[in-house]
A and B are shown apart, each in its own frame.
Chain A
Amino acid sequence: MKIANAQLWVHDQDEVLAFYTEKLGMEVRSDVTLPEMDDFRWLTVSPAGQEDVAIVLMAIPGPPMMDEDTTQQVEALMAKGFAGTVFLTTDDCRSDYEQLAAKGVEFTETPEERPYGIDCGFRDPSGNSIRLTEVKLPANV
């Protein structure tokens, strides 16, 4: 068993697509709009060089796919910052932090030393949480 895709709810697919590609440097893996499915848009992204796993950027459906109450509950959870989280790793957390901050990425935590490495956190435009960790090599932990 392997991970293929994992999904995040998003408010605006174009806005988050620009964020994940232009700011984080990820690549589009799939972007298809299906007229036979009420213009449902299947949109996935993943880091360059990691093509076998992707994040699905899923628009929150309204009725009849999702009833109005549930839609509002999902949006409320996202607004409170308790929707999805993506955990990314990097070779250089501090350098990435500087570059992303310069691009206007909204950080919730600046890089900090942790037992497992250096870690920071930010949000995508829909409020999803993203952790970025420079993992220490096991020998150095």
Chain B
Amino acid sequence: MAHAPPARHLLRAKDLADARYAEQLEVDDLARAAGLSKAHFSREFRRTFGESPYVYLMTRRLERAAALLRNTDYSVAEICLEVGLQGVGSFTTSFKRMFGMTPTEYRASVPPASSQARVPGCIVRAYARPQHRTIREDSAPTRT
């Protein structure tokens, strides 16, 4: 088998973080994908990509969490699980470190998701129509 340059192994780990951040992925899993020991992997990853694999994975998760806070009405706990994190407490701490505010404060600082959803006018008109079922014309007796 041809020997692949080290960066290719590292890229495989980086791709894994990008593709499967929503699962319970740890740096150990990334190191395994690269075929390196954890310490060696972390060092090589940082040297190649300029940040540690932990930070890379965490920023990927937090970027997604921020998008879900902006664009969905999922609860903070649901979003935490959705991006592969287990504890809401540590999620909140990491989020605040990166965005300078808690997930709840972040959501409150942006327009509500419902106002951002591009629900087309045809659907709004159809669903928001008052559902009167006793309009006089319908119930009026037929003249004979």
- B71 and A65 contacting across the interface, CB-CB below 8 Å: no
Q: What are 13 A-B pairs with beta-carbon distances under 8 A?
A: A4-B118, A25-B19, A25-B20, A28-B68, A28-B82, A30-B71, A30-B118, A31-B71, A31-B74, A34-B119, A34-B127, A37-B124, A40-B119
- Name the residue on B nearest A51 (C-beta): B67
Q: How large is the interface on A (under 10, 10 to 19, 20 to 34, 35 or more residues)?
A: 20 to 34
Please report the C-alpha to C-alpha distance between residue A36 and residue B125 in the assembled complex, in whole angstroms.
12
The 8 Å CB contact of A33, one of B71, B73, B131, is B73
Interchain CB contact under 8 A, B126 and A27: no
Give the B-binding residues of A (Cβ under 8 A).
4-5, 21-22, 25, 27-34, 36-38, 40, 42, 48, 61, 64-65
Q: Cβ of B72 < 8 Å from any Cβ of A?
A: yes
Classify the secondary structure of B's interface with A.
helix
Of A29, A38, A42, the most chain B CB neighbours within 10 A belong to A42
Output the least CB separation between A14 and chain B (Å): 13
- With beta carbons under 8 angstroms apart, the residue of B73, B114, B127 that contacts A38 is B127
